[in-house]
Structures are given as C-alpha cells and as structure tokens.
A and B are shown apart, each in its own frame.
Chain A
Amino acid sequence: MKKHKTKHSDHLVAPLAKARGLGSTHHGSGQWMAERVSALVILPLVFWLTWSVVHMGHDYASFTAWLHQPLNALLMILTLLPMFYHSAYGVIVVIEDYVHGTAMRFISVYGVKLVSLVLTIISVVSILKIAFTG
C-alpha cells in the first residue's frame, strides 16, 4: 500500500485507498453489488423457467425441441450465467463466515470458483449443442 503523509484531514477521513480491500471478505463493495444485480436478473427468469417447465413436455424429444428454439436457448443461458455467478459468490460469502485459516479458506474459495466455472461451461456447451444440432 502507498505510504501517506499525514495531513490534518487524514485524522478525520480515511483515504479510500487505505480502506480498499480491507473488508472482512477482502473484496470491496463491487462484489456485494454484483451479488444483488445478478439476483435481480435471475428473478424474472425464475418465473419464465417455472412457466416453461409447466408447459413443456418432459420426455427427450419435447425437451430438446424446446431447447432447439433460439429464444429458449438464449434465455436459458441468460438464466444460468448470473445464477452460477450468484451461487458461487453466495457460497463464498458463507465460506468466509465459517471457514478460518488461510490455507483452508484459500482452497475452499478457489474450489468453489473452479467447480462453478466447470459447471457453467458444461451447461452452456450442452445448451448450444442442443440448440444448434437438435
């Protein structure tokens, strides 16, 4: 961190640079905001998904036919991307509350990120495959 010459005003207001990244989760308010924005994006899509599940057939042919439609494939991807993001960072917040010790925390936080990334890739590739090949 950059050294600050102490000015009179520093005694009253901490410079932002000194406070950045010092929260309990070591990431600033950006992550907090992203967690809320992703939640807000998923919310209407949950209702779309519920509606779709009720209306589509549940066998292989109907399900793939449903995902073969571009709008459904697109909306499915738009549901899953923010969902995996929100889910991963939500679980990380929980980990940071209960898992202590630098090594354990590091392993579990990066484990969650890795698993989440792999699941996201598998899902998107699967959706695209069905959308483009049927």
Chain B
Amino acid sequence: MRERPLSPHLMIYRWTITMAMSILHRATGVALSIGTLMLVWMLAAAALGEDTFTQFADFAGSLTGQVLLFGWSVALFYHALNGLRHLAWDVGFGFEIKTAKMSGIVVLIATAVMTAILWCGILCK
C-alpha cells in the first residue's frame, strides 16, 4: 500500500521557540492570575494594621515567599512583554517566521533584564 500523508502529531512534532513561547504565555497568564491572591493578601493585611502586615511580610521574606514573588515577577515581565508581541500580531505586524523568532528572543532577553533590574533594585539596597 502506498504511504498515506499524515497530519502533524503534536507529541512528536519538532519543538520551535515560537511554539514554546505561545504555551508559556498561557501558563504565565494563569500563574499570574493565581498569584494575584498574594497581592490582595498584602493590601488587605496592610489595611488591617501593622500586626497583620508583619505576618504577610514574614511570609514574603521566607524562602517560599521569595521564590513565589520571584516567580510572579518573572511571569509578569514575560507575559507583559510577550503580550505586546501578541498585540502586534493582532494588528497584523510581525507574522513572518524570521521576525516572530527574532521578537521572541528579544522578549526573552528583555524579561531577564527587567527581572535583574527589579531584584537588584530590591536586594542591593
């Protein structure tokens, strides 16, 4: 029998940077949404007074808290910058494969830079 053409199978499809970044946009969007809980906790704790805020600050300063905050900030920078890329696509810019790859790399570098600026700014005081 002659070979039949196959549609691409997702599990064995060759990964590309544009594909991975697209999935990451969704993952960071959901993670950020869950992370807003910590933001709300911070605001409510501050509104309730010094004791409740100290409870929040103790958690935020713990290893778990720092890892969560670091993760939330990376996700935010990635999602915000990559979101700009999505918005450009939405109005019809940057669709060429070469351009999409380039802009993806720019987003990754800019995410690292923004994260470094934020955490150096906080920790190097």
* B1 CB–A CB distance under 8 Å: no
Q: In this assembly, does B43 line the interface, its C-beta being within 8 Å of a C-beta of chain A?
A: yes
Is there contact, CB below 8 Å, between A83 and B43? Answer: no
- A74: chain B residues at CB < 8 Å are none
Contact partners of B80 in chain A: CB under 8 A: 42-43, 46
Task: Give Cα A61–Cα B26 distance, bound, in whole angstroms.
Answer: 37
Minimum distance in angstroms from B18 CB to a CB of chain A: 19
- Secondary structure at chain B's binding surface: helix, strand, loop or mixed? helix
Interface bracket on A? 20 to 34
What 1/0 mask marks residues of chain A from 37 to 78 whose CB sits below 8 Å from any chain B CB?
A: 001101100100010011100111001100100000000000
Do A83 and B36 touch (CB < 8 A)? Answer: yes
* Docked CA distance A63–B60 (Å): 14
Residues B5-58 near A (CB distance < 8 A): 26, 29-30, 32-33, 36-37, 39-40, 43-44, 46-47, 50, 53-54, 57
Which of B30, B80, B90, B114: most chain A Cβ within 10 A? Answer: B80
Q: A14 at the A/B interface (Cβ < 8 Å)? A: no
Q: CA–CA, A73 to B76, complex, Å? A: 21
How many Å lie between the Cα of A63 and that of B46 in the bound state?
A: 8
Complex partner residue of B33 from A46, A80, A91, A129, CB under 8 angstroms? A91
- B111 shortest CB reach to chain A, Å: 12
Let me know if A123 and B43 touch, CB within 8 A: yes
State A127–B44 Cα separation when bound (angstroms): 8
Q: A117 interface residue, CB < 8 Å from B?
A: no
A126 near B44 with CB under 8 A, answer yes
User: Across the interface, do A53 and B122 meet the contact criterion of CB distance under 8 Å?
Assistant: yes
Give the chain A neighbours of B121 by CB distance below 8 A. 53-55
B50 touches A60 (CB 8 A): yes
Q: Contact: A122 with B90, CB < 8 Å?
A: no
Complex CA distance for A42 and B122, rounded to whole angstroms:
22
Task: Give complex CA distance A59, B53 in Å.
Answer: 9
The residue in chain A whose Cβ has the minimal distance to the Cβ of B60 is A58
Contacts of A40 in B (CB 8 A): 87
Contact call A50/B114, Cβ cutoff below 8 A = yes
Interface residues of A (CB under 8 A from B): 36, 39-40, 42-43, 46, 50, 53-55, 58-60, 63-64, 67, 80, 83-84, 87-88, 90-91, 94, 119, 122-123, 125-127, 129-130
Besides A84-B36, A123-B44, A126-B40, 8 other CB < 8 A contacts?
Answer: A39-B87, A46-B77, A53-B122, A60-B46, A60-B53, A60-B54, A90-B29, A123-B43
